[in-house]
Amino acid sequence: MALRVSQIAKLLLGLWMAGVLVAMFAIIPQYEGLGNAGRIIIMHVPTAWVSVLAFGASAVFSGLYLWRHRPADDDRAVAAAECGFLFTVLATVTGAIFSQVVWGIYWNWDPRQTSIFVLLLIYAGLFALRAALEDINQRRQLSAVFSLFAFVTVPFLIFIAPRMAESTLHPNCAFLPGSDCAGVLIEEGKLNLLGDRVVQLVSVEQQGDTVTTQVLVREPGMQGETILMPSYNLSEAAAVEMPTFPGITYRLKIEDVDMNARSVRLNIEAPVTETSDARTRLTLLASTLGFTALFVWMFRIRSTLLGVQWQLDQRKGAVV
Amino acid sequence: MNIALEAGVAIYVALAVALTVWIGVFMYLWKLDAQARALQQQLRQQPEPEQRPTPTASLRAQRPDDTPVVSGMGNRSRANTIRGRHTRAGNACT
């Protein structure tokens, strides 16, 4: 009975992911300004999320191994780490494909790309460590400790480091309409990055309560540049003119002005309709659930195989 | 121009490729899962092999008149033999 339920669940997962693919390519609307390249978010974000989940599971089972010293916990920790590594590679590859389409280059050592690369190196180190140690008890104990330390770096490398970086092309704001993005503070004459656009504050002029600015906007891949003139009302503390970026319907908005420092806070206003937003978000949620289930399935297969291998080794007398 | 790359068609070509890849991955996982479960089942059904006997050695010193002086561990009836693969040569005194 349990086997039958398990088989049905796996078949449903197959159909579910096929449905996610159909929704990704044929149902959700294009991202404004990004065309079909934006659809890759449906694969990219869930794989990155599942990699965090998998590395977390690996750390939990490593902790359990150190506590209980059961070989099955070590098998599960390794299986989870391997799955996490695979999903991180998928997130990196889908990100690189997006990067090629939007920025014109597969890899440019953006803070987000660099941090995920470091994460891959850390977990590659775990596998190298396991391969290097012959004594099985030593291998299990050291890799469990390594896995715990490796997981400490995961939140930092995935969530914190890319956000600490002052310049990243990773489009957090441009991709997620309604997300709480603080925008960028920019002084007169200086450059900064807003989503996937390079912006330069050329001038700031005040006439009465209205502050008018000239902002030079460079398109992704440096394919073109335009001067936009957003403005701001000081007495109402509200944006007045919000010009659209060239070729897309995102708008450039001034959120705050400091005339003493001659600086403004610029942000992206993303006019996405409620319907299209809901479809995209639902597909993203469905994809995240599907990838999580896929991870659980792969994790179970791999840990079962590692357990079988361990039992066979024991029977052969290869392991003392 | 290749019709598969035309705008409006290319997206469905990409969908078909992605679906094909997914079907391939799914079938591979399904097969692997079945094999892993079958192996696990086989291992459960097979009885645990008997523990390999601990290597033993027998030691017996003999006088020329064939009277035993010292008898070591192991079966006395086979006292003149030295058994076990792991017996070190140093133990084998005859």
Domain membership of residue A173 (yes or no) is no
Asked if A53 and A187 sit in the same domain, the reply is: no
Nearest to B29 among A18, A301, A317 (CB): A301
Minimum distance, in Å, between the CA of residue B54 and any CA atom of chain A: 13
Which single residue is written with the structure tokens 């990004």? A34
Q: Which domain holds residue A230?
A: 178-269
Asked if A154 and A235 sit in the same domain, the reply is: no
Mean pLDDT of A61-66: 96
Mean pLDDT of A51-55: 95
- The pTM score is 0.71
Q: What pLDDT score does A314 carry?
A: 83
Q: Which residues contact A239 (CB under 8 A, 6 or more apart)?
A: A230, A231, A232, A233, A253, A254, A255
Domain membership of residue A217 (yes or no) is yes
**SS3 state at A257:** strand
Asked if A90 and A187 sit in the same domain, the reply is: no
- Helices in chain A by DSSP H: which ranges? 2-22, 41-68, 71-103, 111-132, 136-155, 161-164, 172-175, 274-316
Domain membership of residue A81 (yes or no) is yes
Mean pLDDT of A228-241: 91
Asked if A105 and A199 sit in the same domain, the reply is: no
Minimum distance, in Å, between the CA of residue A110 and any CA atom of chain B: 27
Asked if A123 and A247 sit in the same domain, the reply is: no
**SS3 state at A310:** helix
Q: What pLDDT score does A244 carry?
A: 84
Asked if A201 and A304 sit in the same domain, the reply is: no
Domain membership of residue A172 (yes or no) is no
Task: Please indicate whether residue A182 or residue A85 has the higher confidence score (pLDDT).
Answer: A85
Instruction: Check B15 against A26: CB less than 8 A apart.
Output: yes
Neighbours of B48 (CB within 10 A): 9
Q: What pLDDT score does B57 carry?
A: 81
Q: What pLDDT score does B20 carry?
A: 97
Asked if A207 and A228 sit in the same domain, the reply is: yes
Q: What percent of chain A has pLDDT over 90?
A: 48
Q: What is the 3-class SS of B23-88, one letter each residue?
A: HHHHHHHHHHHHHHHHHHHHHHHCCCCCCCCCCCCCCEEECCCCCEEEECCCCHHHCCCCCCCCCC
Span A22-43, pLDDT tens digits: 999 988 887 765 667 778 889 9
The answer to whether residue A10 scores a pLDDT higher than 90 is yes
Mean pLDDT of A252-258: 88
Mean pLDDT of A276-300: 91
pLDDT, mean over chain A: 85
ipTM above 0.85, yes or no: no
From chain B, the residues in CB contact with A301 under 8 A are: 29, 32-33, 36
Q: What pLDDT score does B84 carry?
A: 44
Give the whole-angstrom CA distance, residue A198 versus residue A191.
7
From chain B, the residues in CB contact with A298 under 8 A are: 29
Asked if A218 and A88 sit in the same domain, the reply is: no
Residue of chain A minimizing CA distance to B36: A305
From chain B, the residues in CB contact with A22 under 8 A are: 15, 19
Residue of chain B minimizing CA distance to A24: B15
Any idea where the domains of chain B sit in the sequence?
3-45, 53-84
Asked if A228 and A286 sit in the same domain, the reply is: no
User: For chain A, how many structural domains are there in total?
Assistant: 2
Give the whole-angstrom CA distance, residue A56 versus residue A51.
8
Q: What pLDDT score does A276 carry?
A: 55
Asked if A42 and A18 sit in the same domain, the reply is: yes
Of the candidates A83, A52, A61, the residue with the CA atom closest to the CA atom of residue A153: A52
Beta bridge partners of A31: A35
Q: Chain A to chain B, count of Cβ pairs less than 8 Å apart? A: 51
**SS3 state at A218:** strand
Give the whole-angstrom CA distance, residue A233 versus residue A254.
10
The answer to whether residue A312 scores a pLDDT higher than 80 is yes
Nearest to A17 among B12, B22, B37 (CB): B22
Asked if A158 and A287 sit in the same domain, the reply is: yes
The domain boundary, picked from A234, A249, A269, lies at A269
Asked if A229 and A246 sit in the same domain, the reply is: yes
Instruction: Check B36 against A298: CB less than 8 A apart.
Output: no
Q: Which residues of chain B have pLDDT under 50?
A: 71-94
Q: What pLDDT score does A287 carry?
A: 95
Interface mutation target, options A16, A25, A82, chain B, most CBs of B under 10 Å: A25
The domain boundary, picked from A269, A288, A306, lies at A269
Give the whole-angstrom CA distance, residue A192 versus residue A188.
11
pLDDT band at residue A169 using 50, 70 and 90 as cut-offs? low
